Amino acid sequence: MNEIDWVVVETTEGTFNPTQLHHKETVFALSNGYLGTRGTFEEGYPGSCPATLINGVYDAAPVVVTELANCPDWSSLTLQIGTHLDAKSDIKWERFRLDQGEILDYKRWLNIRRGILSRLVLWRSPSGHVIELTFERFVSLAKQHVAAVHCQIRSINFAGLVEIHAGLNGFPDNEGLMHWQQVEQIGRDGAICLHLRSRQSQIDLAIAARLEMSAVDCHTSTLAFHGHAAIVTRFTLQPGQVVAVNKGVTLFTSLDTENPVETATQTLMTLPDYGSLRAEHEAAWAAVWQASDVVIEGDS
């Protein structure tokens, strides 16, 4: 089969149509057998339904039934661009979001053969600054407790500051029902970690993340406050310049290990770079398809 026969493409004719937001989030979901994540946007969108479900992680719901507990959204990556307003260094920030500014080009596709979800957005901010963003993410089949997000930022006509927040939100819900209570949030040594515990089943969950930057001068810090943790990095971008940001994530529960926080943070610190993680993931999927008698026929 040709590579294109394995690719599911969102047919939008170069623009984003929010009327099928939830349907597309389902179509572009990713899973590796241990965890599954809906295909929501990394930067978020009003009304979206982010969900990450981990095999075996259940919690009781009052009056209703025991259900899979929605876990923190590991893929969150928000971006804003800023320009200096005056000599006093006041900065005007504009956050990248698809419900503001103008979408000049838009594509999203899922490569089933490789297990990789990709998206390209050419975006003009309300002030007229144009940037091109290419997103890529996967949940590793080679390392099932690992997930990763790649974002490439290319300036078309923008000269100024870029600030990226790679966050973890400890308040995921199941249609308004909160299954998790916060135990601790950690931000140090360029990494972050959330430690949560399910309210009824008492399952501990640790999710840790770090950032990997391409060669660019940047200032990076970590934030940790009640139920939230984030890595914040800021750098300067010039027209024509390209910068890549990679977010590596590890997830462990007390069903997997005696000390999820220690295991998640130690595994995070020993992760290879994004390119190596991606290559291992693709090789694992290639082995699956090689051993499977499956033929997928697309519209073509």
235 part of a folded domain:
yes
Vertex 78, ends 238 and 278: CA angle to 5°? 85
DSSP 224-292: EETTEEEEEEEEEE-TT-EEEEEEEEEEEETTT-S-HHHHHHHHHHT---HHHHHHHHHHHHHHHHHH-
- Average pLDDT over every residue of 128-156: 98
- Which CATH number fits the domain that encloses residue 226? 2.70.98.40
Please tell me the pTM assigned to this model: 0.94
What is residue 109's predicted lDDT score, i.e. its pLDDT?
A: 97
Is residue 274 within 8 A of residue 246, CB to CB? The reply is yes
What is residue 95's predicted lDDT score, i.e. its pLDDT?
A: 98
299 part of a folded domain:
no
Q: pLDDT tier at 47 (50, 70, 90 boundaries)?
A: very high
Q: How many domains does the chain have?
A: 1
Q: Mark 110-123 as b/e (b = at least 16 C-beta within 10 Å).
A: bbebbbbbbbebbb
Distance (Å, rounded) from C-alpha 110 to C-alpha 181? 34
Q: pLDDT tier at 5 (50, 70, 90 boundaries)?
A: confident
- Average pLDDT over every residue of 42-52: 97
Domain extent for 152: 3-291
